[in-house]
Amino acid sequence: MTQHSLRILLAASEAVPFAKTGGLADVAGALPLELSRLGHDVRLVIPRYRALVRPGQEFQEWVRLTVPTPAGKVETAVGRRPLPSAHGHRDQPSAFRPELFAIRHDPFFNRSGLYQEKGKDYSDNLERFGFFSRAVLELLLAFVQHEGWTPDVLHVHDWQTALCPVYLRTLYAARAELATVGTLFTIHNMGFQGLFPRVDYPKTGLGPEWYTPKYLEFHGQMNLMKGGLVFADYLSTVSPTYAREIQTPEFGFGLEGVAKERADRLVGIVNGIDTESWNPATDAYLPHRYTEEDLTGKRGDKIELQREVNLPVREVPLLVVISRLTLQKGLDLIAETLPELIARDVQVLILGTGEPSFEARFRALQARFPDKVAVRLGFDEQLAHRIQAGGDMLLMPSRYEPCGLSQLYSLRYGTVPIVRRTGGLADTVVPYSQQAVREGRATGFLFVEATPQALLTTVLQALRVFADRSEWERIMRAGMRTDVSWSRSARAYVDAYRNVVKVRRATREATG
């Protein structure tokens, strides 16, 4: 097909800078801006959460929709406004400026949390996101009727919007004005699938013919992610390695068979980061700024960081961790390895929050070795920037990591990542070898087995290399040269969208 501009509607349950719990929000907030810069006509729709009601960020009501539900028809308001850039001032050279649409239904979305409160999921999440998905389809019809705007692609994300492609091909299958709309379903984490009891299936409004093992049934439960995997025209996930991993029992969480069945329509695209916010040359959170050409400021940032977290100012390797303190992130491997590392001349700084057992364990190590271990529980965005700038090595031994962001930030800041070879970590960190260093390709250190010994062996290798400042700086600079921008990712998504359009066209031709 010709390389014309595309019309794209992204539907997501969260997006920066409005509402965020994880990496999904970063994608939904950043991708429309980058697609717009590439010349595509992009719109984003999310629920109107309480967090969206802010002074100076008002929505103009655009249309009122009548959304059919199993309990009856519900009228809802849709607001619209331009989608702001991350800083509110970046140029939009594209002919199209992305717009944000927010679907309002206060009984569902005017709450303090997005999906849960106090660690407990909302009991009506199926109704909430089933309603949102139906509202997205009604919004599509409103675009066509009021503005003659029909998207080439409806791009939906994770279980919260997985019913959109299901509804499009079932309840809305007879709507000829939507027949050309192709769907891309992106899996951000296969571990969260939107599982609900079988007894709740009627709340979807779908007929019983769709509750079968071929479609939404999953071991006696209803699985919304499975619906997205089965009904979408095309699938993506957030790294090429993770796209392969979800086709295996270890990472597929019971859906590996479905993913494997659709492997010919599955692509992995690594997330990007905001390279304006995360830029050591301009970062306002840093006491000293630096570039790939002049790393002097990074040494100053390390000294200031040591002072900030009450570690002695010494020229020893500073190993940093910025993570949720959970088993999935491999924090047990770090906890098991730390005593051996502390016996050497290193310092360790941990920023994060998570499972109480890990928090207590790291606090105890800090109390025992205050000159070598610093722990900051909770999350502090500004401190995270300073840690990325002041650290020498980032430890990220995740058991699984669909994409990962911390290693992308660390590459940008010349903090050499030490990661497990899984998911996006395998795709974004080029492993150390002397030849790779000579060729200017090595950006970090990788290990395979999720064991303390494998992590320790790799850290010790990194410490040996660190002793050769010239070789170490070549690794740092190779990381800082790596393209971790959203521009790269957006171009890959455009390729995926064009495949969606081809698949939709072929499907329509095959079915007459």
Do β-strands 116-117 and 120-121 pair in parallel, antiparallel, or remain unpaired?
A: antiparallel
pTM above threshold 0.85: yes
308 CB burial (10 A radius; 0-12, 13-18, 19+): middle
Task: Tell me the per-residue pLDDT of 223-269, one tens digit each, with 9 for 90 and over.
Answer: 999 999 999 999 999 999 999 999 999 999 999 999 999 999 999 99
| CB-CB contact of 229 with 216 (8 Å) | no
Out of 88-92, 458-462, 489-493, 505-509, pick the least confident: 88-92
Is the model's pLDDT at 7 over the cut of 90? yes
Q: How far apart are CA 146 and CA 123, in angstroms?
A: 36
Question: What is the side-by-side strand order in the sheet with 153-157?
Answer: 60-69, 72-82, 99-104, 41-47, 7-11, 153-157, 182-187, 234-237, 266-268
Q: Distance of alpha carbon 300 from its chain centroid, rounded?
A: 31
Q: Is-same-fold flag (7-272+487-510; 296-484)?
A: yes
Is the model's pLDDT at 333 over the cut of 90? yes
Q: How far apart are CA 67 and CA 88, in angstroms?
A: 33
Is the model's pLDDT at 381 over the cut of 80? yes
pLDDT (average), residues 351-374: 95
Task: Give me the residue label for tokens 């939404």.
Answer: 216
Q: What is the pLDDT of residue 22?
A: 82
The architecture CATH gives domain 296-484: 3-Layer(aba) Sandwich (3.40)
Please give the C-alpha separations between residue 253 and each of 193, 337, 430, in angstroms, as whole numbers.
9, 29, 28
Q: What is the pLDDT of residue 505?
A: 95
Give the other-Cβ count within 10 Å of 471's Cβ: 17
Nearest to 403 by CA among 268, 494, 277: 268
Is the model's pLDDT at 88 over the cut of 50? no
Q: How many CA atoms does the CB half-sphere of 89 hold within 13 Å?
A: 3
Residue 320 backbone phi and psi in degrees, to 5: -125, 150
pLDDT band at 71 (very low <50, low <70, confident <90, very high): confident
pLDDT band at 2 (very low <50, low <70, confident <90, very high): very low
Beta-carbon contacts of 48 under 8 Å, excluding residues fewer than 6 positions away, are 59, 79, 102, 103, 104, 105, 109, 110
346 CB burial (10 A radius; 0-12, 13-18, 19+): buried
| CB-CB contact of 106 with 79 (8 Å) | no
Domain boundaries, the chain: 7-272+487-510, 296-484
pLDDT band at 3 (very low <50, low <70, confident <90, very high): low
Beta-carbon contacts of 155 under 8 Å, excluding residues fewer than 6 positions away, are 8, 9, 10, 11, 183, 184, 186, 493, 497
Task: Tell me the per-residue pLDDT of 172-200, one tens digit each, with 9 for 90 and over.
Answer: 999 999 999 999 999 999 999 999 999 99
Beta-carbon contacts of 342 under 8 Å, excluding residues fewer than 6 positions away, are 348, 365, 369, 372, 373
Q: What is the pLDDT of residue 95?
A: 58
Q: CATH number of the domain at 7-272+487-510, out of 3.40.50.2000, 3.20.20.80, 1.10.3720.10, 3.40.640.10? A: 3.40.50.2000
pLDDT band at 87 (very low <50, low <70, confident <90, very high): very low
Q: How many CA atoms does the CB half-sphere of 500 hold within 13 Å?
A: 30
pLDDT band at 118 (very low <50, low <70, confident <90, very high): confident
Is the model's pLDDT at 503 over the cut of 60? yes
Is the model's pLDDT at 1 over the cut of 70? no
Q: What is the pLDDT of residue 155?
A: 98
pLDDT (average), residues 290-308: 97
Q: What is the pLDDT of residue 290?
A: 98
| CB-CB contact of 79 with 102 (8 Å) | yes
Q: How far apart are CA 495 and CA 244, in angstroms?
A: 19
Residue 265 backbone phi and psi in degrees, to 5: -125, 35
pLDDT (average), residues 286-314: 98
